[in-house]
């Protein structure tokens, strides 16, 4: 297989972008209402003059063909260099819906991760390799495999539990699950495959698809994981590192490209994934908020954060994730993935039924 050069450090889109101006101190999220053209109210989320966004819920829904539905959760989001937005989902048809930047439906794809006609899409990332971009998929189903494919859906390779076990020996003599969640990329053309719902290991491969090493395993000590749900390349300070959303341990962990643990940062609720752009780090938190960190990993904004609302979201008796009638503008339920586009807008997908995509349109 050909080499896989990395063409940029921002998650899921590979256009060069300018760093946003970062506030020196964190302030509480601010909510401002304004009437839109339809007479309903829109919500503006942000911190004063910086990191202010127009919140557009159910983005893209109006353009979906009648036969296309998010009948289950939306799981992953990625943006290619042309600005097309890819949403993985449990719905029909396929496992991926593609939209342009204005929310107009383009196509469905990803039948390789559909079971019995229903999508089983989960993690998605896009990387430019030479002159072509490729999609890397993690389906979160034990019967399905990590998949690399072209932007038009042609499968390049698949890697499942059998190959991972043969390469790493992780499952030999052990009763470990296998349910992959996400992939991420190295600057040398290698990549990581994360078995976040299964074995709690992350598998490193080089640019020639040769196995290198495993990271993690189950535990609470530094370097161990409990649901390493997402990972990404953190190159904000010019020194590339792997950063992992160690979800059930409520923390982020950083590793050198040699696999050695560097540092751990707590203070999260249930961090699900990561993106970076310029000096910013974006962390969707499954417990109803979106966090922005600066270059020093200090919190500068927590969009949608509301303790009273979160209590309702996490109350099993309420069943918020399956009751859209209870959802409120400007509030999140279960952000499962999020990413920037080239203009600094943020796309958020939520683990709700049916799925939901929100666009945070950058104002300042």
Domain ranges of the chain: 61-304
Residue 289 CB contacts under 8 Å (≥ 6 apart), including other chains: 269, 302, 303, 304, 305, 306, 310, 332, 335
- From the CB of residue 176, how many other CB atoms can be counted at a distance below 10 Å? 17
Model confidence over 97-131: pLDDT tens digits?
Answer: 999 999 999 999 999 999 888 999 999 999 999 99
Mean pLDDT of 58-78: 97
Task: Find all residues with CB under 8 Å of 354, minimum gap 6, and list them.
Answer: 69, 70, 71, 72, 73, 91, 324
Tokens coding 265: 């940062």
The strands making up 289-293's β-sheet, listed across from edge to edge, are 275-277, 280-285, 289-293, 299-303
pLDDT band with cut points at 50, 70 and 90 for residue 23: very low
First vs last Cα of the chain: how many Å apart?
43
pLDDT of residue 328: 96
Q: Mean pLDDT in the chain?
A: 91
Instruction: Tell me the pLDDT tens digit for each residue of 34-64.
Output: 333 333 567 999 987 789 999 999 999 999 9
In the Cβ-directed half-sphere of 16, how many Cα atoms lie within 13 Å?
0
pLDDT classification of 9: cutoffs 50, 70, 90: very low
Q: What is the pLDDT of residues 132-176, one digit of tens each?
A: 999 999 999 999 999 999 999 999 999 999 999 999 999 999 999
Per CATH, domain 61-304 is 2.120.10.30: yes
Burial class (CB in 10 A: 0-12, 13-18, 19+), 172: exposed
Q: Which has the closest alpha carbon to 227: 351, 52, 105?
A: 351
pLDDT band at 12 (very low <50, low <70, confident <90, very high): low
Please state, in angstroms and rounded to a whole number, the distance separating the CA atoms of residues 102 and 83.
Answer: 10
Its pTM stands at 0.90
Tokens 């050198």 sit on residue: 256
């Amino acid at each position: 297989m050909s080499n896989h050069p990395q063409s940029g450090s921002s998650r899921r889109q590979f256009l060069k972008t300018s760093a946003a101006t970062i506030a020196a101190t964190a302030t509480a999220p601010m909510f401002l209402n304004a009437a839109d053209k339809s007479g309903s109210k829109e919500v503006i989320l942000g911190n004063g003059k910086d990191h202010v966004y127009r919140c557009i819920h159910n983005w893209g829904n109006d353009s979906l063909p009648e036969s296309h539905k998010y009948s289950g959760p939306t799981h992953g989001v990625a943006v290619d260099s042309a600005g097309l937005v890819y949403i993985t989902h449990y719905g029909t048809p396929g496992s991926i819906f593609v939209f342009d930047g204005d929310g107009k439906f383009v196509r469905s794809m990803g039948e390789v991760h559909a079971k019995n006609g229903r999508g089983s899409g989960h993690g998605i990332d896009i990387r430019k390799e030479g002159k072509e971009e490729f999609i890397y998929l993690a389906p979160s189903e034990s019967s399905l495999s990590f998949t690399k494919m072209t932007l038009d859906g042609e499968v390049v390779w698949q890697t499942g539990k059998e190959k991972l076990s043969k390469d790493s020996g992780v499952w030999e003599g052990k009763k470990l699950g296998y349910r992959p969640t996400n992939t991420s990329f190295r600057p040398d053309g290698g990549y990581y495959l994360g078995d976040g719902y299964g074995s709690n290991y992350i598998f490193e491969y080089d640019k020639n698809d040769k196995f290198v090493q495993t990271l993690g395993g189950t535990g609470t000590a530094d370097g161990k994981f409990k649901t390493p749900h997402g990972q990404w390349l953190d190159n904000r300070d010019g020194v590339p590192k792997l950063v992992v959303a160690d979800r059930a341990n409520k923390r982020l962990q950083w590793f050198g490209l040699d696999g050695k643990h560097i540092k751990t940062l707590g203070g999260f609720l249930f961090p699900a994934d990561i993106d970076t752009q310029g000096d910013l780090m974006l962390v969707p938190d499954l417990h109803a908020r979106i966090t922005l960190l600066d270059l020093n990993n200090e919190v500068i904004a927590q969009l949608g954060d509301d303790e009273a609302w979160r209590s309702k979201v996490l109350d099993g008796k309420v069943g918020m994730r399956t009751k859209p009638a209870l959802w409120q503008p400007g509030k999140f339920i279960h952000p499962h993935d999020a990413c920037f586009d080239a203009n600094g807008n943020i796309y958020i997908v939520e683990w709700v039924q049916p799925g939901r995509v929100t666009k945070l349109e950058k104002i300042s």
